[in-house]
């Protein structure tokens, strides 16, 4: 038997005895999740609105400096915060809210695991929500999965907890988390900008000086081009839920 025939035969045998769910999480196409009305990558709009989003904070040095920059330019953003850092730096999260920014859920402990079980993820989301409720008295509208992973279990975990899932525009990840130079971050965001974009950046997870310098350049350039910066809720239009 020729080698390629043997490989084909082995593949057929393996497929016949292996349950794909044993090793791979169930994943639908993006448009199928979007059809739920609960999962978003960006807004379908003709308006020149963009949402700056920042993951992994609050950070004791990066985030206050970023808030200063946003305040100077009168720009509102959405922060996907990690519950354990909210516990450590609640005053920074309160400042976000006081200055008109939106706060969203990025799990409690930032577990980077595409294969996380639905039950474990629900606890991560719920734990972060409880921390936000207890410290700054909000329940966020949006949840963003760590790493941008989305599977049936990840999406269902969020929806079961009545959270909308917001990822980001696939053309708007300048990889600032990987130490990308400031000039490249700026070029990527500006060159790809279009109305409805959800832009992914980070204020936590390490030294973000390159990101902060990039934000200082991105905002005036895009404003000059006629773009408006809004929160995720303003871009996508659902109403945030606040506790009293």
CB of 236 within 8 A of CB of 202? no
Active site residue 46: no
Active site residue 55: yes
CB of 140 within 8 A of CB of 163? yes
DSSP states of 87-151: HH-HHHHHHHHHTT-EEEE--SS----TT--HHHHHHHHHHHHHHHHHHT-EE-SEE--GGG---
Which residue among the candidates 197, 202, 207, 224 is catalytic per the annotation? Answer: 202
- Give the integer Cα–Cα distance in Å for 198 and 57: 18
CB of 131 within 8 A of CB of 86? yes
Which residue among the candidates 44, 55, 98, 126 is catalytic per the annotation? Answer: 55
Q: What are phi and psi of 77, to 5 degrees?
A: -135, 175
CB of 211 within 8 A of CB of 180? no
174: left (phi over 0), alpha (psi -120 to 50) or beta: alpha
Burial of 185 (0-12, 13-18, 19+ CB in 10 A): buried
What are the residue numbers of the active site?
55, 202
């Amino acid at each position: 038997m020729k080698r390629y025939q043997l490989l084909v035969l082995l593949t057929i045998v393996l497929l016949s005895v292996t349950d794909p769910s044993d090793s791979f999480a169930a994943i639908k196409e993006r448009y199928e999740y979007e059809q739920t009305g609960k999962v978003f990558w960006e807004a379908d709009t003709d308006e020149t609105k963009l949402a700056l989003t920042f993951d992994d904070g609050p950070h004791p040095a990066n985030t206050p400096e970023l808030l200063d920059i946003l305040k100077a330019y009168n720009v509102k953003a959405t922060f996907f915060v990690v519950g354990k850092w909210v516990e450590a730096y609640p005053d920074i999260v309160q400042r976000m809210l006081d200055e008109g920014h939106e706060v969203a859920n990025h799990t409690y402990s930032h577990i980077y695991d595409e294969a996380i079980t639905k039950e474990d993820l629900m606890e991560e989301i719920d734990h972060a929500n409880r921390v936000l409720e207890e410290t700054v008295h909000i329940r966020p509208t949006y949840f963003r999965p760590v790493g941008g992973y989305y599977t049936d279990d990840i999406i269902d975990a969020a929806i079961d907890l009545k959270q909308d899932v917001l990822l980001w525009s696939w053309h708007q990840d300048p990889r600032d988390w990987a130490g990308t130079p400031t000039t490249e971050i700026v070029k990527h965001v500006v060159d790809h900008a279009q109305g409805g974009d959800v832009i992914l950046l980070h204020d936590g997870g390490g030294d973000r000086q390159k990101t902060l310098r990039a934000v200082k350049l991105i905002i005036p350039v895009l404003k000059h081009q006629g773009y408006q910066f809004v929160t995720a809720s303003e871009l996508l239009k659902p109403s945030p839920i606040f506790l009293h």
